[in-house]
Structure 1
Amino acid sequence: MRIDAHQHFWIFNSDRDSWITDDMAAIQRNFLPTDLAPSLKENGVDGVIAVQASQSIEETKFLADLSTMYAMVKGVVGWVDLQAADIEQQLQHLSQHRVIKGFRHVIEGEDDPDFLMRPAFLRGIEALTKFHYTYDLLIRPRHYASTLSCVEQHPNQRFVLDHMAKPNIKTGEFTAWAAFMEKLSAFPNVYCKVSGLVTEANWNQWMLADFKPYIQHAIRCFGSKRLMFGTDWPVCLLAGSYADVMRVAADNITGFTAAERDAFWGGNAAEFYNL
C-alpha cells in the first residue's frame, strides 16, 4: 500500500490562513479530498495522512470528520494545546477518534528558539507518550538545538521530522543542516519525511539534481527503515505537480531493494502511525 504521509485539507479562510500570502495565490482556495482523489489514482497512492494546517481543536475535528466520509484518509495528525494544564483530559477525550494518530505544533512559526523546551510544552510531550500519540516536528534552523534537547529528553516518544527540516535548497545551504540531521538521526525514535522539498527550491526553475545531495544525506542518516514519503499537497502545487513530487523522491531511491521501496512509499508510514 502506498501512503502519502503528509498532506493537507482546508476550507480557505483569509484571516485564519494568513500564512498563505498573496504570492501563494495558487493555493488561496479550498482543497478537499475530492480535489486530491484524481492525483492519488493517477499516481497509485492508496491513502494519506492528513496533517493540521491551522492550530485549533476545530481543525483536528474537521480532519477527523473527513476520515468518516473519505476512505483515503488513513490517519490524522491534528493540533491540541500541548501547554494546556488539562492536556491529559483533552487527549483522553480525543482518543475516541481512532483515526487521530498524532499531533503537531507549528514550531517554525515560533520566534522563541527554545519553544520546544518550555516546561509546559515538555509536559505536553510526556502526555503524548502516555497516550501513545506521535509528534511531528516542524522546525526552522533556529530550533535545531532545542529540537535535539527535546528529543533527548523523550526517548520513548515517537517523533517524525517534517520536510527534512526544510533545508534552504534555493540558496544551497547545506553544512549546518547536514550536521543537524546527523545528530537528530542518532536518536532511534525519530523518523523523517521526504516531503515539502519543491517549495524549498526555486519554485519555477528547480531540477532533479537540486534535491539529490539533500535526500541522499537524509538516506545516509536515517536509512531506509526510518524514511517516509509525503507530498505536502496542496502546498507543493506552488512549485510542482503531485507527479513531480513523486518523481523527486523516486529519483533518489533507485538503489533501494524492492522491500526498501515498499517501506519508503508506505510501509514505514503505516508502522510509524500505526495505521
Structure 2
Amino acid sequence: MISAGQAVREAERQFAAAGIGTARLDAVLLVAHAAGLSADAVRANPAKPLMPDAEGRLIASMRKRAEQRMPVSRLVGRREFWGLSFALSAATLDPRPDSETLVEAVLRHTEDRAAALALFDIGVGTGCLLLSLLSELPNAAGSGSDICAGAVETARANARSLGLAERARFAEGDGFAGFGGPFDRIVCNPPYIPTADIAGLEPEVRDHDPRVALDGGPDGLDAFRRLAPAIAARLAPEGMAAVEFGQGQAAAVREIFSAAGLDCLETVPDLGGRPRVLVAQPRRNSVGAAETALL
C-alpha cells in the first residue's frame, strides 16, 4: 500500500516524462480524485495510505493522462468555470478559463442585473456560458441550442445540479433551434479553429474535444458568417451579443458582424492579453439583417 505523497510523486514523474507541463498539479488532482479526497487534503496528509481500490483507479487514470493525454477534467468528469462545477461529456467542449472573458464582458455591459432579461446561448455545450450568466442575473431566463443531443442533455443536467433548471431551456438544433426571440443577450462560442490547424493542436484538445466544436472551416470563420445575420435578426433593439473568436480573427469577425447590421462595442482580451471576445449591438437607426437570415 502506497501513501498519497508517494502516489503524487510517481504520477508527477510519469507526467513530466510525457511532456505534461502541469505534472505536479495533475498528479495531486488525480490522486485526490482516486482517493475521494480534496486536493488540499492530499497536500496536507501525504502519509495517508491509499486503499487498494483507490490505487487501482489512480493507475488507470495515470495511464490515460500520460499515454493518451486525456485532460484531468475529462478523467474526473468535471470542470470548474466561473466558480461553478460543470459535468462534462464526450459531446461537449471542455470549458477553458479564457472563455470566462465572455461572461465578464456581458456582465460589464449589463447595468441592471436585476432586470428580467432573455438570454440565448448558441452551441450551448456544457451550458457554462448561459448558466454562469444566470447565476449572476437572478431574474433572467435563458435558452440554448446545440446540434449534439448529448450536449443538450449535459447542459440540462448541469442546470439541475446548479439549481437553475427552472430558468433554463435547451433544445437540440442549429442556430436558434426554433426559439423565436427577441433576446436581450446572445452569447456564442462557435467552432473557430481553421481545419488545417486542428492537427497541430495540443493532444488534450485535438484528441478529446469533439471535432464539431473545434472545426471552423478553411479559415475558421464559417460559423461567424452563418450566425451573424441570425444574431442580428434575433437581438432586441437594446440587446447585446458576445461571441468568442480565435487568434488573429478579430478584424475579420468585426467585419462579418458589421456587414450583418451590428456595431462593435469592444473587443475584449483574454487572460493572456489576446483579443478573444467581440461585443456587439444592433446598429442604431438601421434595418439590420433580413428575416430570411433567421436559423
Settle same-fold status: TM greater than 0.5.
no
Which structure has the larger Rg?
2
More strand by share: 2
Q: TM-score, normalised by structure 1?
A: 0.33
Higher relative contact order (CA 8 A, sep 6+): 1
Q: TM-score, normalised by structure 2?
A: 0.31
